[in-house]
């Protein structure tokens, strides 16, 4: 497959993987660690959405599905599919606990993207496309414009019934 098209498809898959899993696991509902709350409130102060801000704070402060997606892609590239992804899932779990975060979003994200990498290898997608794709996916959330991305994440959280009740 053409590398550019592959990276675009991988970016879309990675984006959906980590946003849907993180939202389903309740990242927008509440900050898992103290730093996430600070980031969430700061994003709200700058015109963003609080639930989206908590989501963004949570993925900065501890390994969640975004880190799981990236690390599993790197693991599959370095070690092989699916072993690299499975090893990454274990490392993400330990990373979560070291960050005092009890969640399982990172581990779940690493396992689901490993399955997706294994399945999409049949249409020519490679783990390195997923590494590049995930970098683009996380850039759209964390790197461009926080107020807009947090509002989008807040709307997704509302649709999935995971909007925060914290004021």
Partner 1 sequence: MLYIVYIIAIGSAMILGLILKLPLLPERPMRQSWTTSVIFPTAVLALGFTAMVSKLGYLTSANSNYLIALAIGVLTAIFSKFILERILPRPLQEESPDESQEVSP
What character string, x for contact with partner 1 (CB under 8 A) and - otherwise, covers 12-51?
-------------xxx-xx-x-x-----------------
Q: Which of 11, 74, 111, 117 binds partner 1 (CB under 8 A)?
A: 111
Q: If 0-12 CB within 10 Å is exposed, 13-18 middle and 19+ buried, where does residue 128 land? A: middle
Q: Examine residue 160 and tell whether it contacts partner 1 (CB under 8 A).
A: no
Residue with tokens 């053409």: 2
Q: How far is the CB of 137 from partner 1 (least distance, A)?
A: 22
Q: How far is the CB of 94 from partner 1 (least distance, A)?
A: 7
From the list 32, 63, 39, 64, the residue with the least C-alpha distance to 53 is 39
Give yes or no for residue 100 binding partner 1 (CB under 8 A).
Answer: yes
In the structure encoding, which two tokens stand for residue 27, read together?
Answer: 């990242």
Report the alpha-carbon distance of residue 119 to residue 58 in Å, rounded.
29
CA gap 29, 51 in Å, rounded: 6
Q: By CB under 8 A, tell whether 121 contacts partner 1.
A: no
| Closest alpha carbon to 145 in 52, 61, 38, 64 | 52
Of the pair 37, 49, the CB lying nearest partner 1 is at 37
Q: From the CB of 33, what's the least distance to partner 1, in Å?
A: 9
Residues that bind partner 1 (CB under 8 A): 25-27, 29-30, 32, 34, 79-80, 82-84, 86-87, 89-91, 93-94, 97-98, 100, 102-105, 107, 111
């Amino acid at each position: 497959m053409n590398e550019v098209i592959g990276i675009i498809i991988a970016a879309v898959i990675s984006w959906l993987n980590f946003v849907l899993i993180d939202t389903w696991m309740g990242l927008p509902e509440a900050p898992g660690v103290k730093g996430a709350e600070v980031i969430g409130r700061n994003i709200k102060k700058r015109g963003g959405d609080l639930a989206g801000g908590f989501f963004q704070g949570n993925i900065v402060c501890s390994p969640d599905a975004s880190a799981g997606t990236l690390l599993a892609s790197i693991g599959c590239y370095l070690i092989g599919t699916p072993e690299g992804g499975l090893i990454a899932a274990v490392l993400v779990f330990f990373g979560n606990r070291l960050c005092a975060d009890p969640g399982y979003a990172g581990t779940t994200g690493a396992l689901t993207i490993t399955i997706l990498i294994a399945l999409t290898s049949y249409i020519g997608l490679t783990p390195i496309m997923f590494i590049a794709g995930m970098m683009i996916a996380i850039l759209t959330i964390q790197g461009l414009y926080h107020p807009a991305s947090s509002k989008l994440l807040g709307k997704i959280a509302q649709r999935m019934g995971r909007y925060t009740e914290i004021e």
